[in-house]
């Protein structure tokens, strides 16, 4: 789902969002709550609550939420740093064709974060990501080639 689609809920109060998220198991409402708690949009930031709601959306197959959960595990936001969990969530989103997650998987494999270092796998992930429009993946590929020279 595109980021713009989430703004359907942007005008709602938190209580209404929580009700929708819980009663309807609505991934968009969960994402909106996670976003608000993460970035302090119309409320005080709370990374633990952000992770809670993002995980709800992630378990409902939202690739953007899966990507954000992965980044929260990389940086230890709302949880302890856990590269293995990050790789898992980036992988789930990547399986849905989420270009930024493919790029992050490339980084994880290049750096050996949560996985054994594997530059060939990193290169594969970056190529797929670039094909899907992620410019950062193209930059990563370029840097990898420059390192080989």
Give burial (CB, 10 Å; 0-12/13-18/19+) of 11.
Answer: exposed
Kindly indicate the confidence band of residue 6, based on its pLDDT and cuts at 50, 70 and 90: very low
pLDDT, average across residues 93-120: 98
pLDDT, average across residues 120-149: 95
Kindly indicate the confidence band of residue 3, based on its pLDDT and cuts at 50, 70 and 90: very low
Residue whose tokens read 């409902």: 60
> How far apart are the C-alpha atoms of 110 and 93, rounded to whole Å?
19
Is residue 127 helix, strand or coil? helix
Q: What percent of the chain has pLDDT over 90?
A: 78
Q: Where are the beta strands (DSSP E) in 6-125?
A: none
pLDDT at 13: 83
Give burial (CB, 10 Å; 0-12/13-18/19+) of 27.
Answer: buried
The CA-atom distances, in angstroms, between 139 and each of 103, 120, 146 are: 10, 16, 11
Which residues make Cβ contacts (< 8 Å) with residue 118, sequence separation at least 6?
109
The pTM (predicted TM-score) of the whole model is 0.89
> How far apart are the C-alpha atoms of 50 and 1, rounded to whole Å?
19
Kindly indicate the confidence band of residue 17, based on its pLDDT and cuts at 50, 70 and 90: confident
pLDDT at 10: 61
> How far apart are the C-alpha atoms of 135 and 71, rounded to whole Å?
18
Domain ranges of the chain: 1-83, 97-149
CATH superfamily, domain 1-83, is Tetratricopeptide repeat domain (1.25.40.10)
For residue 90 the two structure tokens come to: 């980036």
> How far apart are the C-alpha atoms of 115 and 118, rounded to whole Å?
8
Kindly indicate the confidence band of residue 22, based on its pLDDT and cuts at 50, 70 and 90: confident
Question: pLDDT of 43-97, one tens digit each?
Answer: 899 999 999 999 999 999 999 999 999 999 999 999 999 999 999 999 999 999 9
pLDDT at 49: 96
Largest CA distance in the chain: 57
Mean pLDDT, rounded, of the chain: 92
């Amino acid at each position: 789902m595109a980021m713009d689609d989430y703004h359907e809920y942007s005008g709602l109060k938190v209580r209404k969002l929580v009700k929708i998220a819980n009663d309807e198991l609505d991934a968009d409402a969960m994402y909106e709550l996670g976003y608000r708690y993460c970035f302090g949009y119309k409320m005080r930031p709370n990374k633990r609550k952000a992770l809670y709601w993002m995980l709800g959306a992630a378990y409902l197959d939202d690739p953007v939420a899966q990507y954000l959960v992965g980044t929260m595990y990389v940086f230890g936001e709302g949880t302890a740093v856990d590269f293995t969990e990050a790789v898992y969530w980036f992988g789930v989103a990547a399986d849905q064709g989420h270009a930024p997650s493919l790029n992050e998987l490339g980084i994880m494999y290049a750096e050996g974060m949560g996985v054994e270092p594997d530059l060939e796998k990193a290169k594969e992930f970056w190529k797929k990501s670039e094909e899907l429009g992620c410019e950062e993946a193209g930059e990563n590929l370029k840097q990898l080639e420059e390192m080989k020279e």
